[in-house]
Structure 1
Amino acid sequence: MAWKIERWFAEVFPGETQIYAEYHSLPPRELAIVSAAVLDVALAELLARRLIDQTKEVEEFLGANGDGRAPAGSFGARIQLGLLVGLLTPDDAAILRNIKELRNLFAHRVRINFLSPDVLKSTTRLYDLWVRRSAALAKAGAMSGTTEKLAEIGHFLPRVAEAGEGLLLSVFMVYQAYFHLMHSRVQRLGSALVRTSEPRNAAPH
């Protein structure tokens, strides 16, 4: 096997009941960067289970062999591919792209926090997307609880840095559990070629 990046299910995912305990104490910058990295490797693993059964080709295409130049070796490319092969809804893709944006903000700026204008703009957009998506997930039975506590987070986003952290952590925790739920249910794509027993020179009907 040429898979060299972390295995999300076996090495990264701490278990449904341990997600909060493992990540809630991370400093803001680390939370933004690590949460995106975890969802990135999770998505790579789900995509590997979804794409046609050509192991070497899949690993090279996803960059699972450690090659960041691979066609789907970046978080952004994996999000787009996840949408195109039916692993993600458009709302999921928008949320994950928002998390990627937060990661980039925290990774490439020295003085930044969850009240910085660009970060606040991004978390406000994430909040709006997440209110809609979490309601849909709860209705579908993919997550428990309601969106009532989200209203409190939204109220404090412009004033309290911890509200932005809490929002990101909440979204991250749910997607960890959501991807875990998907992990055993992902169906692999089959060949689109139709086999026929008719000879090639058979006359058309």
Structure 2
Amino acid sequence: MAWKIERWLAEVFPGEEQVYLEYRNLPPRELVIVSAAVLDSALAELLSLRLMDLPKEAEPFLGVDGDGRAPVGSFGARIQAALLVGIIVPEDAALLRQIKSLRNLFAHRARVDFVHPSAVKITQELCRLWIKRSAALFNQSEEFIGTTLQEIKDNLSKDEAAGIGLLLAIFSVYQAYFHRMHGRIERLGNALSKPDSVLN
């Protein structure tokens, strides 16, 4: 087995200060699809750091060998697995699932943009979830965060730049957040190898 998808930290992550600069000039459809792909590869890498150190088992399980049919080979499955092994919290999972929905919309429709009614519905929910999550991440009140995001929120149905800005903000923060987590993730151990196991 070999790791065939891009390695997030070594090949994709441009550095905390460069994230916004690297992605801000992408066309909207490309921004949505690429940002979801980058977050997906980040979750795959973080999960690989969390699972037991058995690459021959973990790589095909995670689908990093290029097999999208793997048990954890899709963005949705990686979100769920990351939540279940404690890499992300339910609020992160909800946000990432909205980004996945936006990615699916942009990937499977020929004519769609950020002011398309289906996209607006997703970005409005994304904004609502982001207000709650960023308040916790930045230790601010939801009212304060909501006030600063109000202009974006008010323009989601009218101005494509509002949806783009919202996605870029969330994407940039998650890139930095995952980068900080990267060195802190602890591997799962073998529960039966502990001296107080049920076999003793």
- The TM-score bracket by the shorter chain reads over 0.9
Match of 1:163 in 2: 162
User: In the alignment, what sits opposite 1:188?
Assistant: 187
Q: Shift in Å at residue 196 of structure 1?
A: 4.2
Moved more, 145-154 or 16-25: 145-154
After TM superposition, what 4+ stretches of structure 1 lie above 3 angstroms from structure 2? 145-148, 194-198
Q: Which residue of 2 aligns with 1:70?
A: 70
- Contact 1:36/1:99 (CA < 8 Å) preserved in 2? yes
Distance 1:154 1:51, change over 3 A: same
How much has 1:174 moved relative to structure 2?
A: 0.4
More helix by share: 2
RMSD (Å) for aligned C-alpha atoms: 1.9
Contact 1:153–1:167, Cα closer than 8 Å, also in 2: yes
Residue 103 of structure 1 and its aligned partner are, at CA, apart by: 0.4
The AA in structure 2 aligned to 1:190 is: G
What's the counterpart of residue 24 of structure 2?
Answer: 24
- Normalization by structure 2: what TM-score? 0.93
In 1, the alpha carbon distance for the partners of 2:180 and 2:194 equals: 34
Aligned to 2:176: 177
Q: Is 2:64–2:73's contact at 8 Å kept on the other side of the alignment?
A: yes
- Aligned partner of 1:130 in structure 2 is 130
Ranges in structure 2 where 5+ consecutive residues have no aligned partner? none
Distance (whole Å) between structure 2 residues aligned to residue 60 and residue 33 of structure 1: 23
The alpha carbon displacement at 1:149 in A equals 2.8
Separation of aligned partners in 1, 2:179 and 2:7: 13
Higher Cα radius of gyration: 1
Secondary structure of the corresponding residue to residue 139 of structure 1: coil
Q: Does the aligned pair in 2 maintain the 1:83–1:90 contact within 8 Å? A: yes
CA 1:70 to 1:159, structure 2 compared with 1: closer, same or farther past 3 Å?
same
Counterpart residue identity of residue 179, structure 1: F
Q: Is the 8 A contact 1:82 1:88 kept in 2?
A: yes
CA deviation map 1:145-171 (0-9, x unaligned)? 956431221121121111011101110
TM-score, normalising length: structure 1? 0.91
Query: How far apart, in 1, do the equivalents of 2:146 and 2:182 lie?
Result: 25
Contact 1:134–1:147 under 8 Å retained in 2: no
3-state SS of 1:193 partner: helix
Deviates further, 58-67 or 152-161: 152-161
AA in 2 matched with 1:128: R
Percent identity for Structure 1 against Structure 2? 62
Count of residues paired in the alignment: 196
Distance verdict in 2 for CA 1:49–1:116, change over 3 Å: same
